[in-house]
Amino acid sequence: MPEPNRKYFGAHACGLSARIRRPLEVNVPVQASVALPITGGTAEGEVKNGSFHGGMIRFDRVYSMVEGDFGDRETAAQFTFGNWNANPSPIAAKIVCQVEGLTYVNRGPLSVRTLSIGSLNLEINSIARSNLPTSFTVATSITGVVLDGVAKLAVTLAPEALKATSDQLAQAYEQDEQFYQRYGHMVIPPVPLAAGGPRMFPKAYGMTAATVVDKIEWAGAPLPGVAIHGNSVVFPDFGVIHFGEVMLSRFTRRISMLRVELGSPDGGDSTAGEGSGGQHEYP
């Protein structure tokens, strides 16, 4: 029997997770993890006052929410009499993730290095229409980033640079010189761009890596030895901190507000403030 026309919802959000791999293996279960089934709906999760691995990772609050429904609910109700396949309504989703009072401590015999973040906030709204790329709007914020309790970082975000659809972003990246000069650094090619020739929007397996981070600067005196590279911060004896990472395609958008590669003395990785959405129609 041929597959009838169907609309598939898809969204997830998670507050925080981590896997410490050395010197001891410690799994921090995903906190406030929520996801949509293919029929849509609503899911919420909240955890307060979390602390793991002897206080190495702790937070005041994490909250996640996903919601999916038809963009026109009144019209959708008219297609619940065995005529579901004919429903013309677009499908919409909302993803929210909030993290408050987050701290990482990488403690060794010769050093104690800390990363503190006041808040991470992510909201993704998407709407999918038949035979068109999914359209997204994104709102983000990162506040109160402090290294070793004294050195402050200002993380400037520009989520509007990613445009509503990947097709619009690709066109602006390739053809709009003003856009490229202003926001081109926020699209991350898988390999260095070749000199000369036409400028091509980077993709690998249908996906493009990008960031919502426009720039990272010191808000005061810098911390010796720390290096800023685009949306990442190399923090000696702690690891590498990545802010606002994005993976996008024509139909999906996944954003991680924070990813930490713990380098020394504890080794592992952690993510905080992550969400993704992407609705589909088949055939």
Percentage with pLDDT > 90 across the chain: 74
User: Measured between alpha carbons, how far is 15 from 1 in angstroms, rounded to an integer?
Assistant: 41
Least confident of 78-82, 95-99, 230-234: 78-82
Question: Using CA of residue 126, residue 120, residue 270, residue 159, what is the dihedral sign?
Answer: positive
User: Measured between alpha carbons, how far is 112 from 53 in angstroms, rounded to an integer?
Assistant: 15
pLDDT tens-place string over residues 159-184: 999 999 999 999 999 999 999 999 99
Mean pLDDT, the chain, integer? 92
Give the closest residue to 56 by CA, choosing from 97, 116, 11: 116
Are the C-beta atoms of residues 243 and 236 closer than 8 Å to each other? no
- Token pair recorded at residue 163: 């445009």
User: Measured between alpha carbons, how far is 90 from 26 in angstroms, rounded to an integer?
Assistant: 43
Least confident of 37-41, 221-225, 267-271: 37-41
pLDDT at 266: 87
pLDDT at 282: 72
pLDDT at 228 over 60: yes
pLDDT at 273: 98
Confidence of residue 190 (pLDDT cuts 50, 70, 90): confident
pLDDT tens-place string over residues 34-53: 999 988 999 999 999 999 99
Q: What is the mean pLDDT of residues 223-227?
A: 97
pLDDT at 200 over 70: yes
pTM: 0.94
